[in-house]
Structure 1
């Protein structure tokens, strides 16, 4: 199939719509044409009977309310994909499951309301793994339809990479934003824990669920973050960061392809003048991995208690098994795993201070997107950073055998603005990395 992926940078798209270079209604028509062209094979969007009518009416309403380009909101007319675990006022939430949508219903998500207030149009719900956890949906990777796009934010990442929308919402409980962004060759950003409000989101794990964002460009990600993250600040002239490679058993979890991808990215950054230090870190990664997965299973059992009591037979076998195992977690073990998050956050912060580094650089996944759709890939390279609640971004960083590779960059807790500013200085050095 031809036509994948397609360029749709958020910054340029939003600017053209605000300034009147293209009308909102014309952009909606072009978007609908693109959806009709690619969706039969890509399958990024949850089906919606009257999508065309809804979007055309929304675009016409925007034009009526904002005739003057000088007063248009920042995302005027921009189509946005919404992972189907966020509530949207006029669309059902199914969460990739067989449960009755009425049981899952709730008020519109806070972040969706912020995007709409900024002028964005909801293109539609995007496919997710069942309840944003294990069981894959139907979405394919725009770079190769025989490979996974990653998950659980599968539909959101594929929609952005294929140019259906320049911005989409995802989440991350282990690696559901950073990993798929790398697999599909775009930018994925997971702010510090709770920086983006989670009201109106179906929760997997109360202690570690993050809202994430997808764009094709770092400049666009800064625009998206300024709307989605309350009290977002700007960093006008950031100093060049000192980068740290976390040496040890954590890094050894990556495949040879993933480690070589990191080496090439580091070589490119050093050639561009960045200082890179190799720092021993995460020596107890196996214990961290075990605590995080235990925490997620236990808290999913809690968040799904009522639904599981009523609809156990409608859950996929793998999801049901994780919930049953989570129910066996004792209160004491749950308290210990919750406490381990801030302990790891403090330990990583101390290690960064001791080594004199500003952020970590590491693989966003063990390698490239696996072949087949039965798995969304292993999130192990994202897990410790998610457990600690640290802000992370995935930047495109070359490819291997036609599939994208990325670079995961992780900053200290609360350093979200500086992370994006640093990423903007790093991105040019990662362009054009040879296989």
Structure 2
């Protein structure tokens, strides 16, 4: 098995840049050297011939600013990968498609404004599945180049796993942040729906689309979240301290964890379920209360409801482009558009009503069981040995349907050596408490050798 892994701690990199131990140009050279060395094989970034020159110019401009290190912002000098459906001034948006870039262009996304205001340098665009649907880009998994990195945020997860950047931005409609994080063995964070403004991002399905991020540990995504999320209530940005105001309640301050027993959990394969059982026992041994909660006995209907809404919204988002350039769409994306075209407003509205009922029922189930977080496998199993697919998103589906915040933690490996992930899901708007709890669970998994 060929490995191209690297490890860059966002918190440590940010601290060294803020205190002057390293300069922005140093970070740029490390980033570009790593991309030059391995990205011809991993293919995480959209090619950019003048990347190094552009970034060094941006680094010089940043370094020419105020000299007081105490006033440097949280992500000062940090190179960040940005998924190529997010508009960035100065870089074309291609969205993994062959449509003319000028057709797809738009104003810079608020998420990029926030990155730049925090001192970050945009390392480049990362590869996405076409229009963030399912047709994969050329990115490969750094753990094994014959395996998918997941999608649709393929390049962002792979870039962090391979040590090209310490932070990357992705999006999730169903499973496009959490699944690639699991497949690539990094931490992926998807906030509560709407917690990061989604303007300046080419839509997939607007009722679900959510910006998220990747780093090598929970402290890294917490630092990024403090910059990117509206109204962050955690520790001061840039400190690398606790992500929230306190852990969710439970024994010794630990959250009570709920296992969603039923048809949903049965979608995971034997490898994922065996690992999940081991993870639960490890957490129990570490002092966490873990409760089995029967839920979602109508899971097949939940899947149908989500895809009714999703395909309706995909078809409407692409109506103009598909009419003009439909012959340029890849078969998977074209099929998604065509599936949504015959869905009428009445069917869509009925699905919206069913989703609202599902959200209320899921919240009531959690409250009745006395749990603080749901836990489940992040994906149905390890990354498939198939570059024509991005894998199955079903383990993320109910949580995305409910708009809940979730995080994937690296949690051991399959016998093949490929990484597995543990998914934690918090309450709506409780992103800070979720990441605070995730930091503790991350520590327990590491101590247990996962």
TM-score of Structure 1 vs Structure 2, range by shorter chain = over 0.9
Partner of 1:292: 306
- Please tell me whether residue 407 in structure 1 is matched to residue 416 in structure 2: no
Partner of 1:212: 212
SS of residue matched to 2:189: strand
Deviations 1:218-272 (A, max 9, x none): 0111110000001100134323100000001111000000111111111111111
Partner of 2:176: 176
Partner of 2:388: 374
In the alignment, the residues of structure 2 paired with residue 295 and residue 147 of structure 1 have an alpha-carbon distance, to the nearest angstrom, of 30
Partner of 2:141: 141
Deviation at 1:175, TM superposition (A): 0.3
Q: Are the equivalent residues in 2 in contact too, given 1:128–1:136 (CA < 8 A)?
A: yes
- Please tell me whether residue 53 in structure 1 is matched to residue 49 in structure 2: no
Partner of 1:312: 326
* Residue pairs, 1:410-425, within 5 angstroms: 410-425=425-440
SS of residue matched to 2:230: coil
Q: Are the equivalent residues in 1 in contact too, given 2:208–2:401 (CA < 8 A)?
A: yes
Deviations 1:104-153 (A, max 9, x none): 00000000110000000000000000000010000011111110000000
In the alignment, the residues of structure 2 paired with residue 271 and residue 433 of structure 1 have an alpha-carbon distance, to the nearest angstrom, of 9
Partner of 2:6: 6
Bigger Cα displacement from structure 2, 195-204 vs 59-68: 59-68
- Please tell me whether residue 101 in structure 1 is matched to residue 110 in structure 2: no
* Residue pairs, 1:336-375, within 5 angstroms: 336-375=350-389
Partner of 2:75: 75
Q: Are the equivalent residues in 2 in contact too, given 1:46–1:127 (CA < 8 A)?
A: yes
SS of residue matched to 1:381: coil
Deviation at 1:196, TM superposition (A): 0.6
In the alignment, the residues of structure 2 paired with residue 150 and residue 387 of structure 1 have an alpha-carbon distance, to the nearest angstrom, of 19
Q: Are the equivalent residues in 2 in contact too, given 1:118–1:227 (CA < 8 A)?
A: yes
Partner of 1:237: 246
Partner of 2:238: none
Deviation at 1:3, TM superposition (A): 6.1
Q: Are the equivalent residues in 2 in contact too, given 1:264–1:433 (CA < 8 A)?
A: no
Normalising by structure 1, we get a TM-score of 0.98
Partner of 1:117: 117
Partner of residue 442 from structure 2, selected from 409, 427, 431: 427
In the alignment, the residues of structure 2 paired with residue 140 and residue 411 of structure 1 have an alpha-carbon distance, to the nearest angstrom, of 30
Partner of 1:91: 91
Q: Aligned residues, how many? A: 435
SS of residue matched to 1:119: coil
Deviation at 1:49, TM superposition (A): 2.2
Partner of 1:200: 200
Q: Are the equivalent residues in 2 in contact too, given 1:398–1:433 (CA < 8 A)?
A: no
In the alignment, the residues of structure 1 paired with residue 215 and residue 354 of structure 2 have an alpha-carbon distance, to the nearest angstrom, of 32
SS of residue matched to 1:15: helix
SS of residue matched to 1:421: helix
In the alignment, the residues of structure 2 paired with residue 13 and residue 66 of structure 1 have an alpha-carbon distance, to the nearest angstrom, of 20
Partner of 2:269: 255
Deviation at 1:341, TM superposition (A): 2.5
Q: Are the equivalent residues in 1 in contact too, given 2:245–2:432 (CA < 8 A)?
A: no
Q: Which runs of 5+ in 1 are unaligned?
A: none
Partner of residue 317 from structure 2, selected from 277, 294, 303: 303
Normalising by structure 2, we get a TM-score of 0.95
Q: Are the equivalent residues in 2 in contact too, given 1:398–1:432 (CA < 8 A)?
A: no
